[in-house]
Amino acid sequence: MNIIILSRGPSLYSTKRLVEAAEKKGHQVRVVDSLRCYMNISSNKPSLHYKGEDIKDFDAVIPRIGASVTFYGTAVLRQLEMMGVFPLNESVAVTRSRDKLRSLQLLSRKGIGMPVTGFANSPDDIPDLIKMVGGAPLVIKLLEGTQGIGVVLAETKKAAESVIEAFLGLNANIMVQEYIKEAGGADIRCLVVGGKVVAAMKRQAKEGEFRSNLHRGGSATLVKLTPTERKTAIRAAQIMGLNVAGVDLLRAERGPVVMEVNSSPGLEGIEKATGKDVAGLIIEFIENNAKPHKTRTRGKG
């Protein structure tokens, strides 16, 4: 098979592992920067060009699209879909999962457990918004934030009001969530491939930090999932329409709650923590499912 990987970082661990796994199975792989791709949008013969070359004859595409280039990256992915290339994750599903508010609304509609979440536009509504999520302490998140950036823990009502006012004053879109204290600064990353959880790790925040992201100094260890946690992760990925997803869960007293569903989950932390060949399993999924013009939007929204 000929596989194209949309990635701006060919030297990144995840990209390199996917290339290695594909080549090990005898496939041809090419890594291209989505921002250097440009398109001829035609009803007769849509095409994609990269640095002056006509990109064609690929069987599958693996999108590793960074959050900062979601708009253009998914446009390139859509073009490849129009050309009949099988997408590991479809453009609609990637766009859906990148909108944190939209994704939570979709999960809510399907009854998936998640933290109580509030969203408002006017500073006049801040007191009721805080009350709505159970008061302080609470978590304030920028909708465009990634890797823990733009996530603030407000421990008092006054602090929460000040931070929310500051964000709204900058015309930033934020959401406010209840703080799951019993999680103890830890979350669980479940790696879902083709409707199965193939690996899971517990991420623990470092001392004095509540964000468990590995980029922020968190540590990762192997974890055993409960049947409910496994089912929740699989269902969340299905609702987003993602074949491959990193589903982040918190262990709350009422059961697992979904924090986020990531369409381009990093492989380094979870492969090292679990010893699983996740990249190989992703390539195996492509081998078993890639067919021309197989793109279809699963779910609504």
At 24-60, the pLDDT tens digits run 999 999 999 999 999 998 877 889 999 989 988 999 9
Of 11-15, 157-161, 211-215, 230-234, minimum mean pLDDT range: 211-215
Range(s) of the domain holding residue 215: 182-288
153 and 209 housed in the same domain: no
CA-to-CA separations, 87 to 204, 235, 240, in angstroms, rounded: 33, 20, 15
3-state secondary structure of 41: coil
CA-to-CA separations, 47 to 12, 53, 117, 134, 209, in angstroms, rounded: 28, 11, 42, 52, 47
Residue 296 lies in a domain: no
How many domains does the structure of the chain reveal? Answer: 3
190 and 271 housed in the same domain: yes
281 and 186 housed in the same domain: yes
Residue 194 lies in a domain: yes
* pLDDT at residue 146 in the model: 61
169 and 213 housed in the same domain: no
User: Is the pLDDT reported for residue 141 higher than 80?
Assistant: yes
143 and 92 housed in the same domain: no
| Cis ω before 292 (30° cut-off from 0) | no
189 and 282 housed in the same domain: yes
More confident residue, 84 or 214: 84
217 and 268 housed in the same domain: yes
Residue 101 lies in a domain: no
145 and 215 housed in the same domain: no
Tell me the mean pLDDT in the region 180-198.
92
Tell me the mean pLDDT in the region 242-261.
94
- What CATH number should be reported for the domain holding residue 230? 3.30.470.20
Percent of the chain with pLDDT over 70: 92
Query: Mean of the per-residue pLDDT values for the chain?
Result: 89
3-state secondary structure of 22: helix
149 and 241 housed in the same domain: no
CA-to-CA separations, 71 to 94, 99, 145, 188, in angstroms, rounded: 10, 11, 15, 28
pLDDT tens digits, 216-251:
556 788 999 999 999 999 999 999 999 999 999 999
Tell me the mean pLDDT in the region 166-178.
88
199 and 284 housed in the same domain: yes
Residue 286 has φ and ψ, to the nearest 5°, of -65, -45
- What CATH number should be reported for the domain holding residue 17? 3.40.50.20
169 and 188 housed in the same domain: no
